[in-house]
Amino acid sequence: MTTAGWQFWIDRGGTFTDVVGYAPDHSVHSCKLLSANPDVYQDAAAEGIRRMLTDESARGSNVREIRMGTTVATNALLERKGAATGLIMTRGFGDALRIGEQDRPRLFDLHIRKPDTLFAATAEADERLTAAGEIETPLDPDSLRAVLSSWRENGIESIAICLLHAWINPVHEQAVAELAREAGFAHVYCSHEVSALMKYVARAGTTVADAYLSPVLLHYVAGFQRELSAHGIHCEHIYFMKSHGGLVSADRFRGKDAILSGPAGGVIGMRAAGERAGTNQLIGFDMGGTSTDVSVCDGEPDIVTDTEIGGVHIRAPMIRIHTIAAGGGSLLNFDNGRFIVGPESAGADPGPLSYGRGGPLALTDANVLLGRIQAQHFPQVFGADGTQALDVAGVRTAFAELAQQVSTRSGSSFTPEQTAEGFLRVAIDNMANALRHISVARGLNPADYTLCCFGGAGAQHACRIADRLGMTRILLDPHAGVLSAWGMGTARLQSYRQRSIDQPLQPAIMPRLQQLSGEFDQACRDELRAQGANDCTSAALVDLKVAHTDNTLTVQLGEPEQMRA
């Protein structure tokens, strides 16, 4: 990738957008903007770049590279605001995703509410392949043409195609995809291309997620590029962070790989911060305005290939990150004798009450009242016109009223400061429990790690979090406030291929493994070079499992005896 000219590394979060600019003279600039401020700008990332390029001569061809992590896909998934998606499955399996894996995570819940499905319509194709990939029932295209035409007329935008055993033989999926394109659909996603692995439900869920989210991402990317052009800024090299911590060019950015696009940049930045500080055993504590992301890094990020987010089963490589709804904008409520923090957030607009834009009391306001956030150290960018200081007086008045309500309901006397402290303790406990989830629950001792705190609100709570977990070391990088954006600058282009084999680990299978490894290596190198990469390194990994089980262990590809060891 090119290094001359301006480079911009951006983290577009739910509340704030961080922009780091690396100038041609090697100076570093940064700014933090509200992700949503429609009265001032349309796109925070483009606005941040514009503000740094104050000199007209610095614009245009002098912007060589932009790297971004974004929560666009995450928000669309959680809020169910993706593209209207139609799902085509094999006859008799149309309800497979509604049934799911038949597990009940809340076994004793008497009022079960299943997550809303991502697809708006389902059709069943008359076709069938055997488990060996042989055609048992030929595809009947006529039965699908009328369905596709009806979907087109009724507003379906994207098509997900998942047929039984297509990961072995994609011939029927390819034929259905051609029918969909003939019907006028621009967004068509086949399971053998999205997730060429075994297990029908997981493959279908991943394909639907890709079809549901990718059009939203493409729309955002196009809008971002339009905003840049409107400011007279042109950049040929725009990359986005994927969930596994690697970069991909904007035209190849897809929904299934974007779920953790923003948080992944923080983990990559944390790894770089640890290297500068001389430590590689880190627990990440990334607290922003909407949520808190926690992770573990033992030299390299911990990668998982199968996860569930927002009630959707997604099979794609991503960094193991645990997220809770606790951020600076988390709303404060007192109900049934309990202090409650979140999960709702004040967001960027209107934001917490202290922003002076008519927002509700939030966790940030508790820190303002307790003196942990001091208005004189912040620029006057608040208020309706964006020229005011933090509204400390308004926070005091609101907490005085809330303290009176808490005292009346609880029967105990609470001062405004005690009320704010009560909410803060609840938030600390919630975040400490999240850290236990990714450490203690997996057999890791937090005391063996350094707590790396970053994000706009991380440092405010790091010491109390560390005390809860018995941790004695905290790493506060000079770029902690924008470390997720900084991580974009240290990331590399990456390409990833997967394929199921499901064969006994015997010498007879090795030629097939070596052949696949060579094909994947060449395909990945071609993809990376097409995006501007020069030097490429590769690794071939194999997931091994005991026969008739599902749990796997990932090892380097080698001889059978080496892999068994």
User: Half-sphere exposure of residue 495, counting CA atoms within 13 Å on the CB side?
Assistant: 19
**In sequence order, which residues have a C-beta less than 8 Å from that of residue 198 and are 6 or more positions away?**
167, 500, 502
Q: Going by DSSP bridges, is the β-strand pair 16-22/6-12 parallel, antiparallel, or unpaired?
A: antiparallel
Nearest-angstrom CA–CA distance, 257 and 303: 13
Which of 141, 148, 154 is CA-nearest to residue 184? 148
CA distances to 208, 218, 345, 366 from 121, rounded to whole Å, are 11, 22, 32, 46
Say what the pTM is: 0.86
330 burial type by CB count under 10 A (0-12 exposed, 13-18 middle, 19+ buried): buried
Domain boundaries, the chain: 82-217, 280-472, 507-564
Nearest-angstrom CA–CA distance, 271 and 297: 7
**Residue 86 is encoded by which pair of tokens?**
């139609």
Nearest-angstrom CA–CA distance, 86 and 215: 13
- DSSP H/E element including 425: helix 416-438
DSSP labels, 16-44: EEEEEEE-TTS-EEEEEEES--TTT-S-H
**Residue 185 is encoded by which pair of tokens?**
């659909």
The phi and psi torsions of 529 (rounded to 5 degrees) equal -65, -35
Q: Going by DSSP bridges, is the β-strand pair 307-309/312-314 parallel, antiparallel, or unpaired?
A: antiparallel
In terms of CATH architecture, what is 82-217?
3-Layer(aba) Sandwich (3.40)
Dihedral angle over CA of 544, 545, 547, 548, nearest 10: -130
Residues 510, 560 contacting (CB under 8 angstroms): yes
Q: Where are the alpha helices (DSSP H) in 444-509?
A: 458-469, 483-490
pLDDT tens for the chain, residues 1 to 565:
445 789 999 999 877 899 999 998 888 999 888 888 888 888 999 999 999 887 544 555 578 899 999 988 888 887 889 999 999 999 999 998 888 877 777 777 777 777 788 999 999 999 999 998 899 999 999 989 999 999 999 999 999 999 999 999 999 999 999 999 999 999 999 999 999 888 899 999 999 999 999 999 999 999 999 999 988 888 889 999 999 999 999 999 999 999 999 899 999 999 999 999 999 999 999 988 888 889 999 988 988 888 888 778 899 999 999 888 888 889 999 988 899 998 888 877 788 999 988 899 999 999 999 999 998 988 887 888 878 899 999 999 999 999 999 999 988 999 999 999 999 999 999 999 999 999 999 999 999 999 999 988 888 899 999 999 999 999 999 988 899 999 999 999 999 888 888 888 888 889 999 999 999 999 999 999 989 888 888 889 888 888 778 788 888 888 888 887 7
Give 280-472's CATH code, choosing from 3.40.30, 3.30.420, 3.40.50, 3.40.1130.
Answer: 3.30.420
